[in-house]
Structures are given as structure tokens and as C-alpha cells.
């Protein structure tokens, strides 16, 4: 049997990049057996690019135009080309504010992960911590899932629960969810690195 291919992650993000930093830290602390191949952003001044460059990780702005909410057409092809150029064999979406389309999904089948600030399938979509707070749930959290053609519908890999406190605001709840996100994402990526994710239909089994 041939040796398992080392995990080389291409990270896509649009904002501050705190989950990107958690992946960088997990690799440095030997909790995640992987390399970051590159960091790509659709926002030229995104902090995630600055974080990557501080760690000497290749970082590029690639415009998503003319679309505003999806990665499609020539822009999608530009992202695929960049990921391949840097030798990425998996993709981590870390606050990437675009819907992924079939071209990218087909280029990295079963190897694109996303982090979502809710216990999916509850509260998909935008600002899910605000949805949870408005609904009045007692527990929410975060989910790492494989990306499919739907919106936050892919098979679940790792979840972390976060209690909702009586005096929580949207800001305090989101901050506590992010603490758990920073644990969950490296954990899920390590399962991928170890080749332990078996996908059957809409389910993930850890082998």
C-alpha cells in the first residue's frame, strides 16, 4: 500500500482569519499533521491575507467579480488554478463569504470543509448565532462539515456545543462559539489528514 499523501490545505477566507490562525497554530503545536499550501481571499485588504504573510504562507487576492455572493465562472477557475499551482489537495473555507459551485467541488471531491457557527442542521445561513439567540435555544455551537452543492447541508464531521447564557448578547455568544470553532476545525482537518473520513450518502463515518 502506498504511503498516505500529506495534507496540503488551501484556505479560502474573506475576513479576519481567526480560524485560519487556529489552523496555523495547530500545525505549529503538532496537533495537526498538515501544511498550509496557500491562503486565498476575494477581499484585497482582508486580514486573513496579512495573517498568512506574517507566517510566510503564500497569500493571494483573487477577485470573485462579477459575482457578489458566489464563486463561479472565470473567478472559480482562477481559484482552482491557484490551488493547484500551490499543490493544495484539500480546501478549508474559513469565513469565505461566497457560495461554492460545482467546478470547485468537482476539483476537490470530498475534500472541502467549512466551519459554521451553529449546530447544523439548525440555523443554516448567515449570522446563525443571532438566529439561535432570537429563537431562544439553550444550547448552540459550531459545526465542521464537508461542503456540497447546498447551503450548509454537507455531511457533518465535528460539532462542539456552547450553552446560551441568560445574559448573552449576540456578541458574547459569538465570541464563545468562536473559541470552540478554533478547536473544532483543526480536529476535523486532522481526521482528514489521517484518512479517517468515510462518506456514505449524507453521512460521515470516522474510521
Task: For the chain, give every domain's residue range.
Answer: 7-109, 114-207
Cα dihedral: 185, 189, 191, 197 (round 10): 100
Residue-wise pLDDT tens digits, 161-170: 999 999 999 9
Catalytic annotation present for 174 = no
Q: Given pLDDT bands bounded at 50, 70 and 90, which one contains residue 1? A: very low
Predicted pLDDT at 196: 84
Is the pLDDT reported for residue 2 higher than 80?
no
Name the pLDDT band for 204 (thresholds 50, 70, 90): confident
Q: What three-state secondary structure class fits 167?
A: coil
Percentage of the residues of the chain whose pLDDT score is greater than 90: 90
**pLDDT tier at 114, thresholds 50, 70, 90:** very high
Q: Of the listed 116, 145, 174, 182, which one is catalytic?
A: 116
Distance CA(184)–CA(161), nearest Å, equals: 10
Contact 180, 142 (CB under 8 A): yes
The pLDDT tens digits of the residues spanning 129-150 come to: 999 999 999 999 999 999 999 8
Query: 114-207, what's its fold?
Result: Rossmann fold (3.40.50)
For the domain 7-109, what is the CATH code?
3.40.50.170
The H or E element spanning position 20 is helix 18-28
Mean pLDDT across the stretch 89-113? 96
Instruction: Report the percentage of the chain scoring pLDDT > 70.
Output: 95
Supply the pTM of this predicted model. 0.93
Per-residue pLDDT, averaged over 48-61, amounts to 98
- Domain 114-207 in the same topology as domain 7-109: yes
Amino acid at each position: 500500500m502506498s504511503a498516505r499523501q500529506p495534507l496540503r490545505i488551501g484556505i479560502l477566507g474573506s475576513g479576519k482569519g481567526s480560524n485560519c490562525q487556529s489552523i496555523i497554530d495547530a500545525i505549529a503545536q503538532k496537533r495537526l499533521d498538515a501544511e498550509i499550501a496557500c491562503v486565498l481571499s476575494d477581499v484585497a485588504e482582508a486580514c486573513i491575507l496579512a495573517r498568512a504573510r506574517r507566517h510566510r504562507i503564500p497569500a493571494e487576492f483573487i477577485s470573485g467579480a462579477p459575482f457578489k455572493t458566489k464563486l463561479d465562472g472565470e473567478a472559480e477557475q482562477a481559484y482552482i488554478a491557484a490551488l493547484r499551482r500551490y499543490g493544495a489537495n484539500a480546501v478549508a473555507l474559513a469565513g469565505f463569504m461566497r457560495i461554492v459551485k460545482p467546478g470547485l467541488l468537482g476539483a476537490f471531491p470530498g475534500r472541502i470543509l467549512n466551519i459554521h457557527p451553529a449546530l447544523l442542521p439548525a440555523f443554516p445561513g448567515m449570522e446563525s448565532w443571532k438566529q439561535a439567540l432570537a429563537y431562544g435555544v439553550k444550547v448552540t455551537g459550531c459545526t465542521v462539515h464537508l461542503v456540497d452543492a447546498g447551503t450548509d447541508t454537507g455531511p457533518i464531521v465535528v460539532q462542539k456545543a456552547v450553552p446560551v447564557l441568560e445574559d448573552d448578547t449576540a456578541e458574547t455568544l459569538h465570541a464563545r462559539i468562536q473559541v470552540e470553532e478554533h478547536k473544532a476545525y483543526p480536529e476535523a482537518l486532522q481526521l482528514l489528514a489521517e484518512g479517517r473520513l468515510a462518506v456514505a450518502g449524507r453521512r460521515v463515518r470516522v474510521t
